[in-house]
Every structure is written in structure tokens, then in C-alpha cells.
Structure 1
Amino acid sequence: MHFEDNYQRKFYYLRLSITDVCNFKCQYCLPDGFKPSGKNSSFLTVGEIKRVVSAFAKCGTTKVRITGGEPSLRKDFTDIISTVASQAGIEKVATTTNGYRLAKRADEWRDAGLTHINVSVDSLDPRMFHQITGENKFVEVMSGIDAAFEAGFSQVKVNTVLMKQLNSQELPAFLHWIKTRPIQLRFIELMQTGEMDGFFSEFHQSGVSIRNHLLANGWILKPREKNDGPAEVYMHPDYLGEVGLIMPYKKDFCETCNRLRVSARGKLHMCLFGDYGVDLRDLLQNDEHQPQLIHTIQSQLGEKKVSHFLDQGLTGMTPNLAYIGG
């Protein structure tokens, strides 16, 4: 059995948020820092995480990305990695992190079963890094990337949001940086969210302009694997690194959607920019609920829309990218 929607899209990839909390203040996400929502419910426990991942794995999911907020803020983060990695059928266990703990924990996370890692780095200039993230942690994050390679990760993905008037002029510097490093540099187009309309209007940089630059300079599109994320990945014979482009405003962006999302409090989301979430928490309390859990997820897939409609200015219920693990 595979989770499949009405548009014959199969879902091999689960993005699992484990916390809303983040210790950075990135301008495009949480410029004023994390503010508790006042919700009483706690974040998913390790047992609940095991049950939801097991249900997804039984229905064809082979990749889980552990997200936040900043997932490594959880004291049981290593246990969560181990729990996810131990579920039959899960081949890739990834995380997205701001990297501030990576230098100290890369070996530990690798030993626990983490297979892929993404680190957010929005500038190679320490001053601009500080301006965008609100934290003077550039040296620590760069040391973390080095530590990941030393721990045995064959490739590190680096997530970068290029923005007009801020860091867009750093494109040549970023490309030079990956010429001799096995880094997949992923340029993520700035996305409009409920709290960031004005910021989006001022700083949005089209991903198409970056793609055109790559194509004009000898970069070649790589074929996709079934559990890949949404990036178009480009390679170049003279570069050890690769470039991934995530362009949510491209017309056919949603045609290859292969991922579902579960929030840190146990809600199933069809899309980062959906307008509702389905509470799964009651079905995560014991193993006997698994058939009902699977049935609930599959039945909700009938409601998954053909597109996120971002190009029409719709942002759904998402106030910021930390809300359900952007």
C-alpha cells in the first residue's frame, strides 16, 4: 500500500516537525524571535513519533526529515533520530538545522542513524549572516559543516534564501565556495507567509533568474529520485558541489509533490501552505490505533489540492515558516 492522492501523486517523504521553537531570528521567518503561542499541548513524544513514522513507513514512505523550529533544541533529539532510523522501511533520515550545535553533535547524530543533513546558511559574510539571522554564530555554523564531513556525511546540503538588497549579490561567492566542496547548495526562493507580506514584496528574488544564470554557465539538470525533495538539482563538470533550486512560484512546482507534513503537536498537513490541519494525536497513543491512523491519513489525501496556489497570493494558515516545519 502507498499513500496516494487524487492526482496519482505518491508520498514517499514525511516532513516531521518536533518543535516550533527556534533560537535564531531570521528576517524571513521569525524576525522578532520565537513567541510561545499559548497552546497547552506539548510537542510529540518519542513514542508518538515512533507510531506516526511507523504508519507512514508501512504505506511507502522511505524518507523522513526531522524539522522545527530548530530540532536540535530538543534534549531528546538524538533519541528521536534513533527512533526514526529504526523503523522498518525508512532508508533516509534527514534533518534541517541552523547548525549552531552541529560542531559538537555531528558524530553523535550520525551514530544515531542520521543519513542526511541540511544546514541553513544565508550569507558567507559574517556581518550579513548576523543581520539576516539575528545571531552572531557564523563561525560556529561553518565549524559545524566541517564537523559533519569529519563525522562521515558524504554530502552536506546548505539552504540559502537569496533576497534582493540583502544577500543576492553573493551568488558568485556561493558558487566559488562549492567548487571544491561536496556541498549541495540549495537556493530557496523567498515564500510569502501570513506575517511577512511586506517583507516578501520588498526582498523577493525570483529563482528563475538564478536558474538562467546556471544554464548560461554550463550547469546541467540532474534526474530526480522518487523520494527527493522539491529541488531542481544542477551539476557542473568543474565543480565538486551541486546547486539545488527550490522555486515554489514555478507553474508546475506541485506536480511532483511527494511529501506530507506532521506538525510538532501531531497535526497532519497536506501542504506547507494549506488552510487546515488534521489532528492525529489521539491515534498516536498506542500501537492498536495504527490501522485507524493509516485510514485517517489516506482519507485526508482525497482533500489534497492540486497546487498550493502561492502564485495567486494565497498563503493558507501558515503565519511563518517555523510554524509547521517549513
Structure 2
Amino acid sequence: MAQQFEDKFHRKFYYLRLSVTDVCNFKCTYCLPEGYKPVDGEKSSFLSLPEIKRVVKAFADCGTSKVRITGGEPSLRRDFNDIIHAVASTSGIDKVATTTNGYRMAKQVGQWREAGLTHINVSVDSLSPRMFHQITGENKFEQVMAGIDKAFEVGYEQVKVNAVLMNSFNLREVPAFLNWIKDRPIQLRFIELMQTGEMDHFFQKNHVSGATIRTQLLNEGWVPKVRQANDGPAQVFVHPDYKGEIGLIMPYEKGFCETCNRLRISAKGKLHLCLFGEQGVELRDLLQEDEQEADLIARIQTQLESKSVSHHLQDGNSGATPHLASIGG
């Protein structure tokens, strides 16, 4: 194995978030309220399967053990099953996850599992079909719920559900969400709304601190769960009376970046050191031949020397990220 990817703050990177498309068929209020619009019209320019195999192998050879396949909506790729299989077949990768809006899960999740997908995150921002439609722009609540049921049916022991907390939309649903996971092995992850370049006013109106939810949980007997090395950024809480778990993702909390263990590759082959960093570093020229791996690894490691100690969200600076779909959230 090559040297472990590590930055100058001695953070090691076990976790790759790999975007395979920035196309999405939902119009979520906090991400793509006007729907997907191609930046340059080059739909065919997303990473090919051979390029995906090469970048994942390079990361695995440098200590990465978990890959999350993201988008946009990753299941819009016709070769999504092949992508899952390619990632899962890479030596050293033991967790293969995806984040999906769930609209294809009821029909396809069995195929995803057979291809090697080990973990699933589904975005469900409301348990009210009406509010779900209002937030996502799509009347697909029942299909998404059926998809979660199907995931358990085909053998997943736990499903993670992401809900972006928004003051004007779903904050009042927190008790209903807690009740929903009482008898279901779902890790419900409340994600703080994050400011991006296109969403300043919406952010000011709707941001809710996850710390208020954490205080409520601790008062109700929830306790923190121990983190694993390749876990994501959520603070996870468990309760003896609940089958489900609660995760809180709070990027505005002091120290959030201290445990950063993940890097991002965009759907067009750029390395992003931070979700809220700058424009990204081109890697695609080094993804054309297997023999380029040493140069690819060297370029990534060189860039890690410039990774900042923290994002600057708390200062109102969201970097060059126009919206979360652009580099896979």
C-alpha cells in the first residue's frame, strides 16, 4: 500500500465521497429549487466507469476504506449497478454507501445490494406527504417510503435517513420523526441547513442549530455513540427504548473540522478538499491509464498539504460551492 493520505494537521482520510453525476430529478428548496440546469451542456462529461475504477483504486491504495457514491441523484446513471460493483470489488474498500433521494429504491435496491452496496442514506425531509412535496418539488413520498421498506426486505439491517432541518418547513416535525424510528432500525440524521452561494436569504430565514436538538435528546436520555475511524461527520445518539438512532450533523459547531476524514471527487473528476472550499483540482488527465496511478496519488497528496484547518461557514463564506448538488454534498 502507498502512504496513507494525510494532511499537515495529521488528519488521515479513510472516506471518499465520489460524485457520479450532478443531475438530479428533484427540486429541493435548499439545493436546486429551480431544478437541475447543466452548467456547460456536457452531459457526457461525467466520469466514465474506467475512470471511476482508477480513482477508487488510488484512494484504496492510500488507506481509504469507505466510498460513498453521490450525486445529484446517483441512480440516474444507467450504469449505477456497474459503478457499485466496481467500487465494491476494489481491494481495501469494505464500505460502499450511496446517498439517494430514494425514488428508485423500491424497484432497484435489491440489485444495488447484489452489486455490493453495503450502506444506504435516503433523503426524507418530511413525514408529511404534502410537506415532502413542498420541499422536494416532487409528489413521491409514498414511493420513497416503499423504497425504505424494500431495503429492509432485501436484507439491510439499518437505513440512514437524512433530514435537513428548516425552521419554516419541518422543525415542528421533530417529535414525529422520533416516534417514527422508535421501532425501526433507522439512523435519522438531522442536518443543519448549510449556506451556499445561491441560498443566502433562504439560509437566514431557515437555519436551525442542531445544538437545540442535542440538548433535547440528552434531556430525554439519549447518549452519544462511539465513532469509528471511517464514520461520517454525524454525532450519533442512542436510547435504550428506541430501535433507531439519531445523528446530528452540525457544520457550524466549533471543532467540526477537527475529525475530518473525507475527501471529495466531483462528477467531472475534480478533487475537492472541502465541501466549502475553492474550485477544485483537476485529476481527470491522470485517470486515463492504469500506469498513471503514482502520479495521481502524488498530485492528491501534494494538494493535501494545502488543505485548510477548517471551512469558513461561520464567517458566512461558503467558498465556491454554488449548491450542494454540484460536488455531491
Shorter-chain TM-score: which interval?
Answer: over 0.9
In structure 1, distance between residues paired with 2:166 and 2:213: 12
| Aligned residue number for residue 274 of structure 1 | 277
Amino acid corresponding to residue 108 of structure 1 in structure 2: Q
Identity of aligned residues (%): 70
Aligned-pair distance for 1:142?
0.1
Q: Unaligned regions of 5+ residues in structure 1, if any?
A: none
Is it true that 1:59 corresponds to 2:62 in the alignment? yes
Is it true that 1:212 corresponds to 2:248 in the alignment? no
1:57-206 matched pairs, under 5 angstroms: 57-206=60-209
Q: Secondary structure at the match of 1:141?
A: helix
Amino acid corresponding to residue 48 of structure 2 in structure 1: T
Q: Secondary structure at the match of 2:121?
A: strand
Residue from 18, 30, 33 that aligns with 2:32: 30
Amino acid corresponding to residue 265 of structure 1 in structure 2: K
1:42-53 matched pairs, under 5 angstroms: 42-53=45-56
Is it true that 1:295 corresponds to 2:315 in the alignment? no
After superposition, the C-alpha distances for 1:252-311 in whole angstroms (9 at most, x for unaligned) are: 000000000000000000000001200000100010000000000001000100001111
Is it true that 1:18 corresponds to 2:25 in the alignment? no
In structure 1, distance between residues paired with 2:151 and 2:101: 13
Q: Unaligned regions of 5+ residues in structure 2, if any?
A: none
| Aligned residue number for residue 9 of structure 1 | 11
- Over 6 Å off, 4+ runs: none
Q: Secondary structure at the match of 1:289?
A: helix
Aligned-pair distance for 1:121?
0.1
- Equivalences, count: 326
In structure 1, distance between residues paired with 2:180 and 2:111: 27
In structure 2, distance between residues paired with 1:293 and 1:112: 27
Q: Secondary structure at the match of 2:45?
A: coil
Residue from 232, 245, 248 that aligns with 1:229: 232
Is it true that 1:317 corresponds to 2:317 in the alignment? no
Aligned-pair distance for 1:54?
0.0
In structure 2, distance between residues paired with 1:290 and 1:151: 37
In structure 2, distance between residues paired with 1:61 and 1:166: 37
Q: Secondary structure at the match of 1:37?
A: coil
Under a length normalisation based on structure 2, what TM-score does the superposition of the two structures give? Answer: 0.98
In structure 2, distance between residues paired with 1:164 and 1:276: 30
After superposition, the C-alpha distances for 1:199-252 in whole angstroms (9 at most, x for unaligned) are: 000011111111111011000000100000000000000000000000000000
Once structures 1 and 2 are overlaid, which stretch shifts more, 33-42 or 159-168?
Answer: 33-42
Aligned-pair distance for 1:66?
0.1
In structure 2, distance between residues paired with 1:221 and 1:200: 28
Under a length normalisation based on structure 1, what TM-score does the superposition of the two structures give? Answer: 0.99
After superposition, the C-alpha distances for 1:128-169 in whole angstroms (9 at most, x for unaligned) are: 000000000000000000000011111000000111021100
Amino acid corresponding to residue 304 of structure 1 in structure 2: K
- Root-mean-square deviation (CA, aligned residues, Å) is 0.6
Aligned-pair distance for 1:316?
0.4
Aligned-pair distance for 1:39?
5.0
Amino acid corresponding to residue 231 of structure 1 in structure 2: A
Q: Secondary structure at the match of 2:147?
A: helix
Amino acid corresponding to residue 107 of structure 1 in structure 2: G
